[in-house]
Structure 1
Amino acid sequence: MKAALIDGYIDEPAALGVPPYISQRVRAIAGIFYSRGIDVDYFTIDTIREKGLWDSFDTYDYLVLHGGLTTPGHYTGGTPASLSEFEKLLLLNDNPTKIVEGPIVAGYSLKGGRKAREISLEKADALLRNELDLADFLGIDINSRGYYELMNEFYKLGAGILPQHPGYPNIIVEFDISSGCERRDNFCSFCTESLLYGNFKSRDLAGIVDELKALKAVGAKAIRFGRSANVTAYGYDREKDQPDPEAVELLFQSTSAILNPEVFHIDNGNPIFIARHRKHSEKIIESIVKYNTVGDTISFGVESFDPVVRRLNNIDGTTDEIIEAIKIVNEIGNVRIDGIPKLLPGINLLYGLPGTTKETFEIDFSLLKEILERDLIIRRLNIRQVMVFGNTPLSKLELPKMNRSAFERYKKNVRNTIDKEMIQKVFPIGAIIRRVIPEFKRGALTFGRPLGTYPILVGSYAPFDEPMDMVVIAHGARSVTGIPLKSNLNSMDMKLLESIPGIGRHRATNILLHRPFVSWEDVKRLLGEDICTLLKKIGVVI
């Protein structure tokens, strides 16, 4: 028997499955079928679109459509499946048993600022919210074993689909270390983590180790502990309110030793948890920084600095605690390799929640300016609009009418001030960004990103078709301009020379006319000492 598994991609508060990420959920689905002796052919929705495979699955016994978004985002590596695309696949393939699985079953929306609507896919034989429902549907006894006891088996078996991903080997494994939220005083009004995964539980290390070995065997090179609402809470005793730094140390040490990944990143952390458990959290963050790779981000779900919004939506903690957590991560994580910090905080801000007014934008911008003025560094700011899902407390509350013009002005102000200054601090001129993978071309520019959590977009006038090390030479609000590491002044073309700040067309022409240069003294005589120093700083050679 065979199953066609179509990955329509997921984006949840604690899991991302849009390329270059491959989610833990889609791997678990594959593992469930493998455990029943059923072979799996894996396709992404982008492959379906590109090759026109809409009606190509009638020879399969099962057709599984997986996907759904519960947090809004902007994606460059792929485009999540729409409801109409799922409907098309169900309509054009009559013979298989047709299963729709994932967050989409809880509600459908592709954008923030609106309520997710219930889906009615009449052509589907089963609508299943999660992997255990799928296991049950396929006849697996899900009641005699615990959640992670089951999932450990499915994850390990499902690692085998990695080589079928169209981006392989340049993909990031989204990895499960815990599920649910560690809060003990109820949850935020909009929370889907608690809705989908319940109370907090850490995955056992033995199961993690087995999956890591399976991933190693199929050539996994990049991993992110993204399937966790709070990485710093791994091993946390919820009843005793006790973090476990030793468990985190062993988790990161084991992962590094087994997988030896080229990229080892995390995603979510709770700033309130970090601030309230400072001593333990410092040890935990030290362990992360010991084993992770450069350019990592710990994402803080701040949501709002406005105390009214925080209170009305049961968002835990104070702005002082948030700033304290940002400070802790800066103190420990701002260790630079190739000029780039190992670990910095990111901030997620959410708009359209009850209590949001025009003053909310002013409060948030004021706090962001304070962070900047205190010389604290934020890797990135996500500004989103809330998605409303049924069965969350938010679905029963009255939402404010968003002042669209005020919101857009606020976003523009943040991008042009906070973002621009922060990106210069994170990626100073001369910083080296390793293995930038080309993604698209726009005019004379080639754009790419390294693998990682919130990877920076790098534009270069040097065309490249393979991963390349780039040196930062200039900054935008959300991107940088780069040149290839060890670019040779005697062979760089006019466009690339002109892209270097301070060179310009006149100096670029002079360089072309006076090449080849034999020594830096020749360069200094022609261009001056300042330009000569800059060229050395950005790794240019002669």
Structure 2
Amino acid sequence: MKVVILDGYVDEPSNFGVPPYISPYPRYVSGAVHDAGHTSEYVTIDQVRAGHGLSGDLLVMISGPIVPGKYLRSLPISDREIVRYASAFEGPRVFGGPLARFRYYDEALVDPFDWVALRDIDTAVYDYLTTGEWTNRDRTMEEWDRWALLGADVVRSHPDFPDPLTVELDTSKGCVRYLNKGCSFCIEPMYGKPKFRPVAGVLREVRRLAELGAVNFRLGGQADFFSYQAIGLGSSATPEINVSAIHELLEGIRTAAPSLKVLHTDNGDPAMMIAHPDEAMAAMRDLVAHATPGTSLSFGLESADPRVTEANNLNIDADGCLEAIRMVNAVGRDRGENGMPRLLPGLNFVAGLDGETKKTFDLNLAFLKRLLADDLWVRRINIRQVRPVRREFEPTGLYREFRRFKEAVRTLIDHEMLQRVIPEGTVLRSVFLEIQDGHVTYGRQIGTYPILVGLPYDMALNRFVDVRVTSHGQRSLTAIEYPLDVNRAPLAAICALPGIGEKRAARIVRARPFDSWPAFAASLDDPAVAQRIAPFLGLAA
């Protein structure tokens, strides 16, 4: 039997699969299919949109986002596409992934399917192929590790393989705060008591992926970096950090994939850090030593309002989160070889929670202003409305205040923070050029929450370049290729140099070619401007 795996791209709190990422879901399904003695074909929704047909004996559709974000060149599958492609397929059809598991769908969406996998989609497929019966169950630990190995080959079928494809790795499922049901809106406690993959199983998967040619990895399939193999699980909402297990995992990944280019993480629980500060610092030092620069630990503060914190059982208050941010800054803000700080925190805010008032947004903004006043860096500030996945939330009627808060953060906080984290003149290595909009070429480094970089002129796409930052937007950068060959650079690139502008750029173009730095400097009317742009150019002094 041929099983067609349609990857609709997932986006959930602890799993990401929108290109250039590939989530574990299709890999596990492929492993289960092959374990059952059948064959599979992996197809992305982008390939289907481009005309790739879906032909086989069974369709496995992996659903889209639980917490949708903004995407650069790929979009998760839409509800309309789910119905369209499922209805057109001739043969049995099963729907799985986060939308299915957490029943975040209208009944009309699943009408075309023979089965909706309310637990693990890979187990539903395996049981159907081996017994003829559909089931809802979680995979065993042995199946988890076995299918991760058997399905690793899927990465070679992804259009972004081998670069810039980033392989999302699972280390666990569930949240250590399952004891107290966790945050009111979060789906992670719904998995129940956390399950941690053994280090050896993760490393076998990484080794196989590296043998296949994968070079970029992210430990994103986990609710919290610090909770991996936590000691005393079930005795506390903040069990002891297992520093030795984290060290073994990180060091082992570098050994298993000696040619890797990127190793990043995502979520971090500041409450674990505050409860176990020494262990948290040790784990972060290991992370800095073994991960590649630019990695992040995203903190779910959600709200700086103590009333909201209490009403929603949030895991950290504003003071605790501030201290956790200080801890990460103490360890990780040194700049690495790719131009990025080695490790920084991210911050998540959620609006629409119980207890929210107009004052909530004032407290949130005051918290962020405190970060600037104390010169504490954060890599990213994510602000979103709560989504009623776990339960419904009463409307607060504060959408206007939410919009004002978001705009204040973008104008008063983000721009200044970005200037500190990535100052003018910073060289960012290996920026992958992805799309063009007008005469602006956009690219990103590969990794967790990469900064969008715009080069204000046409460049060939789908390649890596080094760039030097010339200016800052609210959440993006303007840069030029580095070093810039001023004798061949387009006028728009020269205009983007700090302090140049159109008139000086035109004068430079008329005066070139230059055979030396003094000759170039002489073409400018201001020695200070010449000195300012000297680091951007490839001319000899």
**Aligned counterparts of 2:69 and 2:315: Cα–Cα separation in 1:** 24
Equivalent residues in 2 for 1:462-477 (5 A)?
462=457, 463-465=459-461, 466-477=463-474
**Alignment-mate amino acid for residue 21 of structure 1:** Y
Higher relative contact order (CA 8 A, sep 6+): 1
Q: Which of residues 64, 68, 71 in structure 1 aligns to 2:64? A: 68
Q: Spell out, residue by residue over 1:338-374, the C-alpha distance to the aligned partner (whole angstroms, 9 max, x if none).
A: 5420110011111111112222111101101111111
**Aligned counterparts of 1:144 and 1:330: Cα–Cα separation in 2:** 42
Q: Spell out, residue by residue over 1:84-127, the C-alpha distance to the aligned partner (whole angstroms, 9 max, x if none).
A: 21211222123x22111111214576xxxxxx645652221111
Q: Spell out, residue by residue over 1:36-57, the C-alpha distance to the aligned partner (whole angstroms, 9 max, x if none).
A: 121111111111112163xx42
Count of residue pairs the alignment pairs up: 525
Equivalent residues in 2 for 1:219-298 (5 A)?
219-237=213-231, 238-239=233-234, 241-260=239-258, 261-298=260-297
Q: Spell out, residue by residue over 1:192-215, the C-alpha distance to the aligned partner (whole angstroms, 9 max, x if none).
A: 1121x2222321011112101110
2:176 aligns to what SS in structure 1? coil
Contact 2:468 2:479 in 1 (8 A): yes
Q: 1:52/1:150 Cα in 2 relative to 1: closer, same or farther (>3 Å)?
A: closer
**Aligned counterparts of 2:138 and 2:112: Cα–Cα separation in 1:** 32
For residue 400 of structure 1, report the CA deviation from its aligned partner.
Answer: 2.8
1:337 aligns to what SS in structure 2? coil
**Alignment-mate amino acid for residue 517 of structure 1:** F
1:377 aligns to what SS in structure 2? coil
Give the aligned partner of residue 324 of structure 1.
323
**Aligned counterparts of 1:213 and 1:516: Cα–Cα separation in 2:** 50
**Aligned counterparts of 1:538 and 1:276: Cα–Cα separation in 2:** 46
Q: 1:146/1:498 Cα in 2 relative to 1: closer, same or farther (>3 Å)?
A: closer
**Alignment-mate amino acid for residue 39 of structure 2:** D
**Aligned counterparts of 2:312 and 2:517: Cα–Cα separation in 1:** 61
**Aligned counterparts of 1:459 and 1:135: Cα–Cα separation in 2:** 45
1:481 aligns to what SS in structure 2? strand
Equivalent residues in 2 for 1:24-63 (5 A)?
24-51=24-51, 53=53, 56-57=54-55, 60-63=56-59
Equivalent residues in 2 for 1:353-392 (5 A)?
353-389=353-389, 392=390
Contact 2:425 2:468 in 1 (8 A): yes
**Aligned counterparts of 1:539 and 1:202: Cα–Cα separation in 2:** 50
**Alignment-mate amino acid for residue 460 of structure 1:** L
**Aligned counterparts of 1:144 and 1:362: Cα–Cα separation in 2:** 45
**Aligned counterparts of 2:364 and 2:230: Cα–Cα separation in 1:** 31
Give the aligned partner of residue 97 of structure 2.
102
**Aligned counterparts of 2:530 and 2:340: Cα–Cα separation in 1:** 23
% identical equivalent positions: 34
Equivalent residues in 2 for 1:73-92 (5 A)?
73-92=69-88
**Aligned counterparts of 1:383 and 1:244: Cα–Cα separation in 2:** 31
**Aligned counterparts of 2:397 and 2:38: Cα–Cα separation in 1:** 49
Moved over 4 A (4+): 116-120, 140-146
Q: Spell out, residue by residue over 1:322-341, the C-alpha distance to the aligned partner (whole angstroms, 9 max, x if none).
A: 01111111110112125420
RMSD, aligned α-carbons: 2.1
**Aligned counterparts of 1:291 and 1:536: Cα–Cα separation in 2:** 34
TM-score computed with the length of structure 2 as normaliser: 0.92
**Aligned counterparts of 2:423 and 2:312: Cα–Cα separation in 1:** 38
Mean alpha-carbon deviation: is it higher for 174-183 or for 403-412?
Answer: 403-412
**Alignment-mate amino acid for residue 8 of structure 1:** G
Give the aligned partner of residue 93 of structure 1.
89
2:50 aligns to what SS in structure 1? helix
Q: Could you list the runs of 5+ residues in structure 1 that have no partner in the other structure? A: 110-115
2:10 aligns to what SS in structure 1? strand
**Aligned counterparts of 2:38 and 2:153: Cα–Cα separation in 1:** 13
**Aligned counterparts of 1:48 and 1:146: Cα–Cα separation in 2:** 29
Q: Could you list the runs of 5+ residues in structure 2 that have no partner in the other structure? A: none
- Counterpart check, 1:179 vs 2:169: no
2:110 aligns to what SS in structure 1? coil
